[in-house]
Copies of this chain bind each other. A is one copy, B any other.
Amino acid sequence: MHKGELTRQRIIAEAAVLFNQRGFTGCSMQDVMEATGLEKGGLYRHFTCKEDLAVEAFKYSLDKVRRARFGEDTDISDAIPLLLYKVRQFVRVPSPLPGGCPIMNTAIDADDGNPTLLHLAHQAVQEWKDGLRAIVEQGIRSGEIKPDAQPGRIANLIVSTLEGALMISRLENTRHAILDAEETLCAFILDLAPNAERSPKPTRRELGTRTAQPAK
């Protein structure tokens, strides 16, 4: 990689952490200069303005989160095991960058502020939900999931519950809320099977053991 491109990537990686922790308004180009040790000229050679850098930083953060937590690294093809896997990966893998989930941070931080960042956060949630909805639709077609299941509503429930629980877990600095979300969502997903027992409770073994790490 060219030296200029290496510097650009290093700025993005450092800025991604700062923006994720402090938000768009709470992080200045001065903060990025201090974190990277670059002069003003060095920074503005690569990014025309703070928004330009924040957009690249958010894309970088999103890509890291998607790879780490969205459960895309699997060969599982059956709908119910795949939904369970996706929920568990999100719960178990901590955020790969400090400051928590960049989608939630940007959604909250930018909702009264930067429209470009808000649009990117919206797009990220949309793609996440579209992926989940497609799995449910495929499960209905293959007969693994009850025909009256509502794919859009299920996708909304999974994303809402995981993101809300993550917020509470960070606030409480324990993993209780996110592990409760995992257990409830897994029971809900198992219940989507046409022949599911009434409200089956997944066993501890199925759900794995609780750990005491704080939420990320």
Chain A residues proximal to chain B, CB less than 8 Å: 21-23, 25-26, 98-100, 104-105, 107-109, 111-113, 118, 121-122, 125-126, 152-153, 156-157, 159-165, 167-168, 170-172, 176-177, 180-181, 183-184, 191, 198-199
- Contact partners of A121 in chain B: CB under 8 A: 171
- Given contacts A21-B112, A23-B26, A113-B22, whether A161 and B157 have CB atoms under 8 Å apart is yes
Q: Which residue from B99, B112, B156 sits with its C-beta under 8 Å from A112?
A: B99
- Contact partners of A159 in chain B: CB under 8 A: 164, 168, 177
- Contact partners of A184 in chain B: CB under 8 A: 153, 157
- Given contacts A26-B23, A109-B23, A198-B198, whether A160 and B156 have CB atoms under 8 Å apart is no
- Given contacts A121-B171, A161-B161, A164-B165, whether A26 and B156 have CB atoms under 8 Å apart is no
Q: Of A122, A125, A168, which is in contact with the most chain B CB atoms at under 10 Å from its CB?
A: A168
| B160 pairs with A177, CB closer than 8 A | yes
- Contact partners of A152 in chain B: CB under 8 A: 176, 180
Known: A107-B167, A157-B181, A161-B161. 13 other contacts (CB 8 A): A99-B111, A100-B111, A107-B171, A153-B183, A156-B177, A157-B180, A160-B161, A160-B167, A162-B164, A163-B164, A163-B168, A164-B164, A164-B165
Query: Nearest-CB distance from A173 to chain B (Å)?
Result: 9
> What are 28 A-B pairs at a CB distance below 8 A?
A22-B25, A22-B112, A23-B23, A23-B25, A25-B25, A26-B26, A26-B113, A99-B111, A104-B167, A105-B108, A107-B167, A107-B171, A109-B109, A111-B170, A118-B171, A125-B168, A156-B176, A156-B177, A159-B168, A159-B177, A160-B165, A160-B168, A160-B180, A160-B181, A161-B161, A162-B164, A163-B164, A191-B199
